[in-house]
Structure 1
Amino acid sequence: MTTTNTIIDVTLQGQTILDTSFIPSGTAGTVNNLPLPLGGLSGVTYDPVNNRYYAISDDRSQFAPARFYTFSTDPATINTAGVNFTNVTPLTDTNNNFFAINTIDLEGIALTNNGTVFISSEGEVSSSRVLDPFIREFSLSTGQQIKSLPVPAKFLPVFNDLNNNGTLDTGEQTSGIRNQLAFESLTITLDQKTLFTATENALFQDGSANNTDIILSRIIQYNLESGQPEKEYLYSTETNNTGLVDLLAIDNQGTLLALERTFNPAVGVTIKIYEISVQNATDISAIDSLNSLTTQELAAIQPVKKRLVLDLTELNLPNSDGFHPTGLDNIEGLTFGPKLADGRQSIILVSDNNFNQSQFTQILALSAAIQSIPLLSVSGLNK
């Protein structure tokens, strides 16, 4: 009998907070003998063989070369023992060159069992430059790029240069990702056969980025055996000003945790974790534009199913510096950690401090009970 996993309980284990500064003194954290700023943690993945974590920085090679950090922590004692950063790996292209400043915006990271990591970039769509988003595989040990996964054309930013000035001006974009609202998330299923990513917000041709009710994001499902995108699913965020910032596969049947982030200046950061399933969701990969659909056609699309697992504001974390009303910073990444002594599953979350002195790097540890239940339908993934 085919089964699927579900989260039935999530509780707080603890947290550690690091000020916006350089990697703590005495740790392995230099490139070309230069100290590196610690920050921009936009995604995280767990290495169970070596019991350590790899966190991608979204530094666009502005403060230091694009990179991922290695750290270790014990979720059971994170409150007292903290986090130990042990290494930093700069990323290079296929020619082993560092990525030039402002040519990438790395956001998601997922570990394979082949000594590599997949890393996503959300590109850029601004008057300064237009860069395509990407998903590329890098060596875990050297940081050198190995290959790229193809990105469907509908996700690539397109604009009409009406002013013939070679730059993107207001009103000229026609389709593709929106600026800083693309591939924030990245995860691989437990059997290493499927990779998921998603847009943080709606594609330009799929609807408003500031809808007062919901925002229509797309999840892409890749077949890692063929290296090709297979399906796309509609994902609806809960309110405006909310983004889908990470995904975490919890089985091989298309059940994932989804991390949504909302920022309101009056309230602060709100973070919610949902359990979602692509089972029985409509494959919308053949639909280039949701705006082109009639109301009836759009209503006929079955989005992924969602269930709220945890609203992190309910953890009542302390507002330690007076600038974080919910006790939360800009949480953008989540991954499983090791099993805890009581058999529960640990979950680690990391925050992106934007290299801002008024923010901090926050690493949270949660524990969850995971239950296997019968799967009544197997229509989601092609296994």
Structure 2
Amino acid sequence: MMACLTMLLLAGRPLLAQGNDLRVVRNNAQRSFSSSVPAGNYSGITPLGGNLYAVVSDKSPHDGFFVFDIAVDSVTGKLKSVGDRGFVYALAHNGDTLPNRDQEGIVYLPHSNTLFISGEKDNRILEYRLDGSVTGRSLAVPPVYSGAGSDYGFESLTYDSCNRCFWTVTESTLPVDGSRATPQNPVRNRLRLQCFNDSLQPCGWCYYEMEPPLAKKRPSMYAMGVSELCALGDGRMLVLEREIFVSKRKLGSFVNCRLFVVSPYSVLQAQDSSVKAVSKKELVSFRTRISLTGLSFANYEGMCLGPLLADGSRVIILLSDSQNRYKGVLRDWFKTIVVR
């Protein structure tokens, strides 16, 4: 592994960006498009080119991905429309459809014209062609991640095109790294940001420490972890921390999202004994909720780069998991944040 890391550092690529000096230009309001987007459990998104994006749903009937057409205003970065172009079924080598793997993260690689999709059920990251057929290749996940389980495994996946590296992270703390945060155990989740090179081999990792929980009361349902990563293409990466608190009576339930920027290559290490935590800078936070005055509750699980705007700023697209529009109450929310 040390040789792999050394090769990455000496590959002549600009591993480090100019620090964490990113800022939010505009935090646009979330929107739903119920007439053009089917109810789903959307958990990951990646740009395919133009207005097309590949989207995974963690409870779709089969393994595979949707193709969405997303139009963004070129000045404000606001969403104009989101439409479904259909579902592409994942296919085994014999042509059979494959079962759902709790698909959570997805990235498209233009140079190979393939997709990689992470599954939280099996904690594997597999390669697919655009027609849905599997290539037989997968990221070589280190054995330590077998301890993640099927509930707090690989929720995130991104690809740094500048350094040609994959990055992933488990949703919550691995047992070997400590306990997991809850309202009754207000610790900082300590996660491993794991890097893989273009040969699909592990190429070092660093710790990422989350903020402590905000929820104080005992929940009916609770989840806290990193729900997505988004490489910015210059060595920096966005990390989405998400805390879900559901009360017994549902009123007062909320999802709190906090978006941070990190430069992980600055502390990338190959040996456990010297691994450090990456520094981070908070860009923006927002909360959606269930209240007497409104229902904005949105569990944001997917995030990717959107288009460049006319002024050179960049759109970040986020999508939420509505649990198939739970009981006809929740919505499939989409949101954009403009950064520069």
Q: TM-score, normalised by structure 2?
A: 0.80
* C-alpha contact (below 8 Å) 1:109/1:186 kept by paired residues: yes
Aligned-partner residue type, residue 56 of structure 1:
V
User: Paired residue for 1:234, among 195, 202, 207?
Assistant: 207
> Residue 193 of structure 1 corresponds to which residue in structure 2?
164
Partner residue in 2 for 1:149: 139
Deviation at 1:154, TM superposition (A): 1.0
Q: Does 1:278 align with 2:264?
A: yes
Aligned partner letter, 2:17:
T
The structural deviation recorded for 1:348 is: 0.6
Whether contact under 8 Å (2:17, 2:263) holds in the other structure is: no
Q: Is the 8 A contact 2:71 2:79 kept in 1?
A: no
Quote the Cα distance in structure 1 between the aligned partners of 2:305 and 2:42: 16
Instruction: Report SS of the residue matched to 1:212.
Output: coil
Residue identity in the other structure for 2:67? T
Alignment of 1:169-188 (within 5 A): 176-188=147-159
- Is the Cα–Cα contact under 8 Å of residues 15 and 79 in structure 1 kept in the other structure? no
The answer on whether the counterparts of 2:227 and 2:240 sit within 8 Å (CA) in structure 1 is yes
Q: Given the superposition, is the C-alpha separation of residues 312 and 139 from structure 1 closer, same or farther in structure 2, using an over 3 Å criterion?
A: same
Note if contact 1:16-1:83 (Cα within 8 Å) is conserved in structure 2: no
| Distance in structure 1 (CA, Å) of the matches to 2:202 and 2:109 | 17
Inter-partner Cα distance in structure 1 for 2:289 and 2:227:
23
Residue 57 (structure 2) pairs with residue 57 (structure 1): yes
Aligned to 2:17: 4
Give 1:115 deviation, angstroms: 1.6
How far has the Cα of 1:308 moved from its partner?
Answer: 0.4
Shift in CA distance, 44/80, structure 1 to aligned 2, threshold 3 Å: closer
Task: Write the distance in 1 (CA, Å) between the matches of 2:149 and 2:92.
Answer: 25
In 2 relative to 1, CA 55–280 (structure 1 residues): closer, same or farther, beyond 3 Å?
same
From 264, 269, 272, the equivalent of 2:245 is: 264
Q: Which one-letter code corresponds to 1:244 in the other structure?
A: V
- Percent of aligned positions that are identical: 27
8 Å Cα contact 1:221/1:230 also seen in 2: yes
User: 2:139 matched to 1:139?
Assistant: no
1:205 Cα deviation from its structure 2 partner: 1.9
CA–CA distance in 1 between the matches of 2:289 and 2:47? 27
* 1:68-96 superposed Cα distances (whole Å, 9 cap, x missing partner): 11112222288684212122211123333
Q: Indicate conservation of the 8 Å contact 2:33/2:82, yes or no.
A: no
Distance verdict in 2 for CA 1:80–1:56, change over 3 Å: closer
Seen in structure 2, the aligned counterparts of structure 1 residues 134 and 308 have a Cα distance that, compared at 3 Å, is same
Alignment CA distance shift 1:135-1:321 (3 Å): farther
| Superposition deviation, residue 185 in structure 1 | 0.6
- The residue that corresponds to 1:331 in the other structure is 300
* In structure 1, distance between residues paired with 2:70 and 2:233: 24
Q: For the residues of structure 2 that align with 1:228 and 1:52, how far apart are their CA atoms?
A: 29
Q: Structure 2 residue aligned with 1:350, among 299, 319, 333?
A: 319
The question of 1:340 aligning with 2:340 is answered no
2:85 maps to 86
Contact 1:112 1:192 in 2 (8 A): no
**Distance in 2 between the 1:96 and 1:303 partners?**
44
Distance 2:167 2:282 in 1: 20
CA distance in 1, matches of 2:79, 2:313: 20
Change in 2 beyond 3 A, CA 1:100/1:55: closer
Residues in 2 aligned to 1:318 and 1:233: alpha-carbon distance in whole angstroms: 33
Deviation of 1:11 (Å): 1.4
* 1:154 to 1:79, Cα distance in 2 relative to 1, 3 A: closer
Structure 2 CA distance for partners of 1:272 and 1:259, relative to 1, 3 Å: same
Q: CA deviation at 1:203?
A: 1.0
Aligned partner of residue 200 in structure 1, secondary structure = coil
**Gaps (5+ residues) in structure 1?**
28-36, 124-131, 157-175, 288-296, 370-383
Unaligned runs of 5+ in 2: 1-12, 214-222, 247-251
Equivalent residue, structure 1, for 2:216: none
What residue number does 1:220 align with?
194
Coordinate RMSD, CA, aligned: 2.6
Under a length normalisation based on structure 1, what TM-score does the superposition of the two structures give?
0.72
Q: How many residues align?
A: 302
Contact 1:349–1:365 (8 Å) recurs in 2: yes
CA deviation vs aligned residue, 1:295-323 (integer Å, no higher than 9, x gap): xx7xx75201111001023xxx7979966
Tell me the SS of whatever aligns to 1:82.
strand
The structural deviation recorded for 1:217 is 1.1
Q: 1:320 to 1:207 in 2, by over 3 A?
A: closer
1:268-311 C-alpha deviation (Å, 9 max, x unpaired): 0011110012133252x544xxxxxxxxx7xx752011110010
Question: Which residue identity does 1:354 align to in structure 2?
Answer: Q
Matches of 1:282 and 1:338, distance apart in 2: 29
